[in-house]
Amino acid sequence: MPLPILAITSGEPAGIGPDLCAALPRREWPARLVVLGDRAMIAARIHAVEPALDIVDYAPDAAPRPGALEVLHVPMATKAVPGRLDAANARYVLDVLDRAIAGCKSGEFAGMVTAPVHKGIICDAGVPFSGHTEYLAEATGTPLVVMMLVGGGLRVALATTHLPLKDVSAAITRPLLTDTLRILHTDLRQRFGLAAPRILVAGLNPHAGEGGHMGMEEIEVITPVLEQLRAEGMQLIGPLPADTLFVPHTLKQGDAVLAMFHDQGLPVLKHASFGGGVNVTLGLPIIRTSVDHGTALDLAGSGRADPGSLFAAVELAIAMAQGQTKT
pLDDT tens digits, residue range 4-16?
A: 999 999 999 999 9
Report CA torsion sign: 74, 75, 81, 85. Answer: negative
Please, which residues have CB within 8 angstroms of residue 326's CB and are 6 or more apart in sequence? 150, 192, 315, 316, 319, 320
Among 255, 238, 150, residue whose Cα is nearest residue 193: 255
Task: Based on the fold, state whether residues 3 and 137 are members of the same structural domain.
Answer: yes
What's the domain range around 169? 144-283
Task: Based on the fold, state whether residues 18 and 138 are members of the same structural domain.
Answer: yes
Q: What is the pTM of this model?
A: 0.90
pLDDT band of 3, cuts 50, 70, 90: confident
Contact 287, 104 (CB under 8 A): yes
What average pLDDT is seen over the chain? 93
Q: Is the pLDDT reported for residue 199 higher than 90?
A: yes
State the pLDDT at residue 324: 59
Rounded to a whole number of angstroms, the CA Rg of the chain reads 20
Task: Based on the fold, state whether residues 273 and 310 are members of the same structural domain.
Answer: no
Q: How many domains does the chain have?
A: 2
Q: Is the pLDDT reported for residue 161 higher than 80?
A: yes
Q: Is the pLDDT reported for residue 275 higher than 80?
A: no
Task: Based on the fold, state whether residues 228 and 318 are members of the same structural domain.
Answer: no
Task: Based on the fold, state whether residues 84 and 203 are members of the same structural domain.
Answer: no
pLDDT band of 98, cuts 50, 70, 90: very high
Q: Is the pLDDT reported for residue 327 higher than 60?
A: no
Task: Based on the fold, state whether residues 267 and 290 are members of the same structural domain.
Answer: no
State the pLDDT at residue 283: 96
State the pLDDT at residue 133: 87
Task: Based on the fold, state whether residues 1 and 132 are members of the same structural domain.
Answer: yes
State the pLDDT at residue 326: 43
The span from the CA of 197 to the CA of 229, in Å, is 13
Return the minimum-mean-pLDDT range out of 46-55, 112-121, 160-169, 217-226.
46-55
State the pLDDT at residue 64: 79
List the CATH number of the domain containing 129. Answer: 3.40.718.10
Report CA torsion sign: 146, 152, 154, 158. Answer: negative
Return the minimum-mean-pLDDT range out of 61-70, 159-168, 307-316.
61-70
Task: Based on the fold, state whether residues 173 and 251 are members of the same structural domain.
Answer: yes
Q: Is the pLDDT reported for residue 63 higher than 90?
A: no
The span from the CA of 72 to the CA of 9, in Å, is 10
pLDDT band of 323, cuts 50, 70, 90: confident
Last residue of a domain, one of 250, 265, 283: 283
Q: Is the pLDDT reported for residue 1 higher than 70?
A: no
Task: Based on the fold, state whether residues 109 and 151 are members of the same structural domain.
Answer: no
Residue-wise pLDDT tens digits, 225-240: 999 999 999 999 999 9
The span from the CA of 284 to the CA of 143, in Å, is 9
Query: pLDDT above 70 covers what percent of the chain?
Result: 98
Query: How many angstroms separate the first and last alpha carbons of the chain?
Result: 25
Sequential DSSP letters for 295-311: --GGGTTTT----HHHH
Contact 200, 157 (CB under 8 A): no
Task: Based on the fold, state whether residues 322 and 239 are members of the same structural domain.
Answer: no
> What is the SS3 assignment for 236?
strand
Task: Based on the fold, state whether residues 307 and 245 are members of the same structural domain.
Answer: no
Query: pLDDT above 90 covers what percent of the chain?
Result: 82
For the segment 137-156, the average pLDDT, to the nearest whole number, is 95
Task: Based on the fold, state whether residues 87 and 182 are members of the same structural domain.
Answer: no
